[in-house]
Amino acid sequence: MANEFLEPITEQTFYLNMGPQHPSTHGVLRLFLKLDGEYIVEADPVIGYGHRGHEKMAESHLYEQFLPNSSRMDYLAGLIFNHGYVAAIEKMAGIEVPPRAEYIRVICAELNRISSHLLWFGTYVMDLGGFTPFLYSFDDRENILDILDRVSGSRLTYSYCRFGGVARDVDDEFITATHQFVERLRSRWDDYHNLVTKNVIFIHRAKDVGVINRELALRFGCTGPILRAAGVPYDVRKAEPYSVYSELDFEIPTGTKGDALDRYLVRVQEMEQSLHIIEQALERLPDGAIKAAVPHKVRPPRGDYYFAVESARGAVGFYIVSDGTSYPYRLKARVPSYGNLQVLTEVLPGTLVADTISILGSIDIVVPEVDR
């Protein structure tokens, strides 16, 4: 902990532990705050309460055995993490994925992205005192969980992707249900905007609050909606296209101020773009195999490899060192929530402690991803 946190307390200053059990931290995160009255002077995010050693576990597991671990880092975008891990191994081993499998992966990944954003939408507004939007967003999210459960057998920690493809093919019922969900969510935008976007109380709690500008976001390595809300149109799906994203048409929503309201608007617009991606992928879904022929044990050639995808919170990268065996010599996951969380050390000082909930919620941290 920083030495300045050990300085004597004056009559005007005091220290506050927010978490690790506070409901608005959405996990075992502790914010150690130095306050001067109602204003924050210093902030220190204290992490590590839920560390599980995923990266170390990879060294003693076959590449195939580590598959379930990937979705247990960011459990809200677990399918995207799962996709990123298998794509990294495929790059290492030179495995060609059938086109049908690639399109299925994109459809499921975008459903998972919307699912994550809907959970964030509901809980963020609930943290600020609005309960009704939480019920709406979770009602819509249940539809996604039912769709993904049908094809993957899971509703949260997905292990659906396989080296060379996916575990199970989609059927007509999956395709019909996905089309129906797209129409359903589009019909909800007016409700969401009337309940939240146009709500004067929400606007006052989010506008000009927790500004993360371009320079600050880049300095801390922020990615995802935080970086895009600051006006930087960086998205791995566009910057370094993977899977079939290069064949699909979609836009990258951006903001101007980089405040909590911009971060909210970017995520809402991203959900609409994900619907557009899903529609295109469904229309172009080809026939054919869903999995390539892959050895029982994958043994990538010796070397260092890196592969990145875009999760709901930003860029996820897997850096893997192979020694030519069926076990990774080293695996390192570059997760977005870590850098996104550390920016609080410069964003929170000077703000009201009452705005801490709004600022933290707008960043959308998943603590098990940080404490992987």
With a cut of 70, which residues of the chain have pLDDT below it?
1-11, 24-25
For residue 20, the model assigns a pLDDT of 80
Measured distance CA(32)–CA(37) in Å, rounded = 15
**SS3 of 260, please?**
helix
Listed in sequence order, the residues at least 6 apart from 54 whose beta carbon sits closer than 8 Å to its beta carbon are 69, 72, 73, 333, 372
Nearest 10 degrees: CA dihedral of 78, 56, 337, 352?
130
**Residues 319, 305 contacting (CB under 8 angstroms):** yes
Q: Which amino acid would we find at residue 10?
A: T
Does residue 314 come out as left (phi exceeding 0), alpha (psi in the -120 to 50 range) or beta? Answer: left
Q: Say what the alpha-carbon torsion angle 5, 8, 14, 15 is, to the nearest 10 degrees.
A: 30
Beta bridge partners of 46: 30
Q: Which residues contact 93 (CB under 8 A, 6 or more apart)?
A: 163, 298, 299, 300, 301
DSSP 19-49: -SS-GGG-SS-EEEEEEETTEEEEEEEE--T
> Which residue is listed with tokens 């146009």?
198
The confidence score (pLDDT) of residue 372 equals 80
In tens, the pLDDT along 307-337 reads 999 999 999 999 999 999 999 999 999 999 9
Nearest to 106 by CA among 235, 275, 259, 251: 275
Q: Helical H runs in the chain?
A: 54-58, 67-70, 78-93, 99-127, 132-152, 172-192, 200-206, 214-219, 225-229, 236-239, 260-284, 336-342, 344-347, 356-363, 367-370
Name the amino acid, one letter, at 30.
Answer: R
Closest CA to 50 of 296, 337, 277: 337
Structural domains of the chain, ranges and CATH numbers in brackets: 52-370 (1.10.645.10)
The pLDDT of residue 1 is 46
Q: Which DSSP category does 127 fall into?
A: H
How does 207-229 read in b/e, with b if 16+ C-beta sit within 10 Å? Answer: eebbbbeeebbeebbbbbbbbbb
Residue 207 to residue 45: CA distance in whole angstroms: 23
